[in-house]
């Protein structure tokens, strides 16, 4: 990757070369490419979501999905969603509200939520939707009106909240839909689920933005899903709610 320069006999030149090589290597390590990102370091997370290193007993009161531990809530349904053969998202359904949870690898020193918000907003506005960026209970979020086709064939909109938090080498995105997207009192429990989620990034190499793959619990009760959503050709951060095929459901009653 780097050519070796002939010895010029100058200690100063040698030191400059070493500093330059170290800087380039650090940039590649942080971004997975030669380009620099401009996002700031991840902000503190005093109320979660949590890294696995910050929780002594992540399995207490949570469902182990491998890449994330999802808090168990009385009466909830836990649905997993797949892309290809990999489980990449989990959706907690509570009555008439839901929150989709999806974790991604992130650069070592920089958060990506600010950049991801811009991508989601751009994707939705290109579809004819409306975006409002506000500071909510979980930090900066997007409140969107996403164009959808209604069962009767007419055009309508779906109200959705996109929330996100940067962690150590990971990023957790939440998509709140249903009544939780429009009524604060209905969103409280879903926001608690998001905050109390534990992310397991692992120590292996991953490119920034790669999804952290999930797994099914061994004692999962499988409920077949009769209808699969159509694939959409879009960025995994574009905000489309149908780009992942819906897989089996896990019913958790606690």
Residue 243: give the domain boundaries.
50-251
Query: Is 23 found in the same domain as 95?
Result: no
Query: Is 57 found in the same domain as 34?
Result: no
Q: Determine which helix (DSSP H) or strand (DSSP E) holds 22, and give its type and residue range.
A: helix 11-31
Average pLDDT, the chain: 77
Q: Determine which helix (DSSP H) or strand (DSSP E) holds 147, and give its type and residue range.
A: strand 139-149
As a whole-number percent, the residues of the chain with pLDDT over 90 amount to 53
Quickly state the pLDDT bin for 51 (edges 50, 70, 90). very high
Query: Is 22 found in the same domain as 70?
Result: no
- Asked whether the beta carbons of 195 and 68 are under 8 A apart, the reply is no
- Asked whether the beta carbons of 101 and 172 are under 8 A apart, the reply is yes
Largest CA distance in the chain: 79
pLDDT 10s digits, 4-39:
334 444 444 444 444 444 443 344 444 444 334 346
Query: Is 236 found in the same domain as 175?
Result: yes
Residue 2 placed within a domain: no
Region 96-113: mean pLDDT is 93
Residue 149 placed within a domain: yes
Query: Is 96 found in the same domain as 215?
Result: yes
Q: How far is CA 97 from CA 115, 191, 196, in A?
A: 27, 11, 18
Quickly state the pLDDT bin for 223 (edges 50, 70, 90). low
| pLDDT given for residue 71 in this prediction | 94
Query: Is 160 found in the same domain as 112?
Result: yes
| pLDDT given for residue 108 in this prediction | 84
pLDDT 10s digits, 118-148:
999 999 999 999 999 999 999 999 999 999 9
| pLDDT given for residue 253 in this prediction | 34
Query: pTM for the whole thing?
Result: 0.73
Query: Is 78 found in the same domain as 30?
Result: no
Query: Is 183 found in the same domain as 93?
Result: yes
Region 230-247: mean pLDDT is 36
| pLDDT given for residue 185 in this prediction | 85
Quickly state the pLDDT bin for 40 (edges 50, 70, 90). confident
Query: Is 230 found in the same domain as 135?
Result: yes
Residue bearing the bigger pLDDT, 183 or 222: 183
Query: Is 83 found in the same domain as 134?
Result: yes
Name the residue with tokens 């999962």: 220
- Count of structural domains, the chain: 2
Residue 95 placed within a domain: yes
Query: Is 32 found in the same domain as 146?
Result: no
Query: Is 137 found in the same domain as 84?
Result: yes
Quickly state the pLDDT bin for 200 (edges 50, 70, 90). very high
pLDDT 10s digits, 135-185:
999 999 999 999 998 888 888 989 999 999 999 999 999 999 999 999 888
Q: What is the CATH number of the domain that holds 76?
A: 3.40.1000
Quickly state the pLDDT bin for 78 (edges 50, 70, 90). very high
């Amino acid at each position: 990757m780097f050519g070796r320069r002939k010895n010029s006999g100058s200690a100063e030149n040698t030191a400059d070369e070493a500093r330059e090589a170290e800087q380039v290597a650090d940039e590649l390590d942080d971004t997975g490419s030669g380009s620099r990102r401009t996002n700031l370091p991840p902000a503190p997370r005093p109320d979660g979501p949590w890294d696995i290193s910050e929780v002594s007993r992540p399995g207490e009161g949570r469902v182990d999905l491998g890449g994330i531990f999802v808090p168990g809530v009385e009466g909830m349904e836990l649905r997993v969603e797949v892309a290809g053969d990999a489980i990449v998202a989990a959706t907690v359904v509570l009555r008439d509200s839901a929150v989709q949870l999806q974790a991604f690898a992130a650069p070592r020193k920089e958060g990506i939520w600010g950049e991801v918000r811009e991508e989601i907003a751009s994707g939705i506005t290109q579809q004819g939707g409306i975006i409002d960026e506000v500071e909510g209970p979980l930090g900066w979020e997007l409140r969107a009106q996403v164009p959808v086709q209604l069962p009767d064939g007419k055009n309508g909109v779906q109200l959705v909240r996109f929330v996100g938090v940067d962690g150590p080498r990971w990023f957790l995105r939440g998509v709140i839909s249903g009544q939780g997207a429009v009524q604060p009192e209905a969103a409280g429990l879903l926001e608690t689920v998001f905050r109390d989620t534990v992310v397991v990034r692992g120590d292996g190499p991953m490119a920034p933005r790669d999804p952290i793959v999930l797994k099914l619990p061994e004692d999962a009760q499988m409920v077949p899903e009769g209808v699969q959503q159509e694939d959409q050709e879009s960025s995994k951060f574009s905000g489309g709610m149908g780009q992942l095929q819906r897989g089996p459901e896990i019913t958790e009653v606690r």
